[in-house]
Chain A
Amino acid sequence: MLRSVSFARTLFNSASFNAIRPLSSESARVLTPELKERIQKLVQSGDVVVFMKGTQNQPMCGFSRNVKLILDLHKVPFRDYNVLEDEELRAGIKEFSDWPTIPQIYVKGQFVGGSDIFVQMHQEHEIAKFFDEHGIPSKYSETKKPNA
């Protein structure tokens, strides 16, 4: 286990990795201090925040829709931000999160991942536990008291 954690560290620090352009190259840096501050407020605008294509009422992308469906299934309300209507946000959130794709999920201001991670958690029956750990009520909460 230690071997591969240090592998990861080595990989991130190695010359070959650093020769690779980062997700946002210097010339294309879009995250101005103002945009960063705006995004910071957005990620904290709700317990669960999703940057997606389309809206939760009308998702425009299958990956974004999957995230919405899982949250709906677990009756977890969330704030949605439509990157299709905001090119600055679409580019900025990728740099902010250091994550290259949309959708992106934030829980209590912390980046959780994209649709792959969320779908995997759902399939492995870990969503309820995940929300319990973050103090967010959900339909299948394991801390819920059973009905009398």
Chain B
Amino acid sequence: MLRLLRMSSTSTGPVSTTIRQKLTEFFNPTHLEVECESHLHNVPKGAEKHFRVQIISDKFEGLSTLQRQRLVNKALAEELKTSVHALRIEARIPSEYEGQKQVDPPRCLGGGNR
């Protein structure tokens, strides 16, 4: 219940929505989770700057982890240039996914206020 409340606060914001749309369009994923994690960081309430993405798609077949992440970065280049400050990516092919949850993020250390 708490998790649902936490997710609903900013994961339906404009940046979350755009990220979800672009990843859906580019990768046609079988599973996609996009969640804003800015509430865990040292930024104003309602900010959409930190995201986690768990994306399962056969488009990643044969690609190394780095190549997969670069593809996701490329799809979200506009958002990364303008508003997204941190992006956690888990990109797998369907055979690598058994419903496992993406790992938790590390504790924020303040970011140096910059």
* Chain A interface residues toward B at CB < 8 A: 1-5, 7-8, 11-12, 17, 20-25, 53-54, 59-66, 84, 98-101, 112-117, 119-120, 123
Whether B111 sits at the interface, judged by CB under 8 Å, is yes
**A25-B81, A53-B112 are contacts. A63–B89 as well, Cβ < 8 Å?**
no
Contact between chains at A4 and B108 (CB < 8 Å): no
Please name 21 pairs of A and B residues whose Cβ atoms are closer than 8 Å in the assembled complex, sorted by A: A1-B61, A1-B62, A2-B62, A4-B60, A5-B63, A8-B63, A11-B26, A17-B75, A20-B75, A20-B78, A21-B78, A22-B77, A23-B73, A23-B81, A24-B81, A60-B109, A60-B111, A63-B86, A63-B105, A84-B114, A101-B87
Cβ of A17: which chain B residues have Cβ within 8 Å of it? 74-75
Q: In the complex the two chains form, what is the Cα distance from A60 to B114 in whole Å?
A: 10
Give, as a whole number of angstroms, the nearest-CB distance from B83 to chain A: 11
Q: In the complex the two chains form, what is the Cα distance from A17 to B73 in whole Å?
A: 11
Q: In the complex the two chains form, what is the Cα distance from A112 to B89 in whole Å?
A: 15
Q: In the complex the two chains form, what is the Cα distance from A101 to B81 in whole Å?
A: 10
Q: In the complex the two chains form, what is the Cα distance from A61 to B70 in whole Å?
A: 22
Contact between chains at B87 and A65 (CB < 8 Å): no
Give, as a whole number of angstroms, the nearest-CB distance from A74 to chain B: 18
Q: In the complex the two chains form, what is the Cα distance from A89 to B81 in whole Å?
A: 16
Give, as a whole number of angstroms, the nearest-CB distance from B65 to chain A: 5
Q: In the complex the two chains form, what is the Cα distance from A63 to B26 in whole Å?
A: 27
Give, as a whole number of angstroms, the nearest-CB distance from B85 to chain A: 7
Question: Most B CB atoms within 10 A — which of A24, A62, A120, A123?
Answer: A62
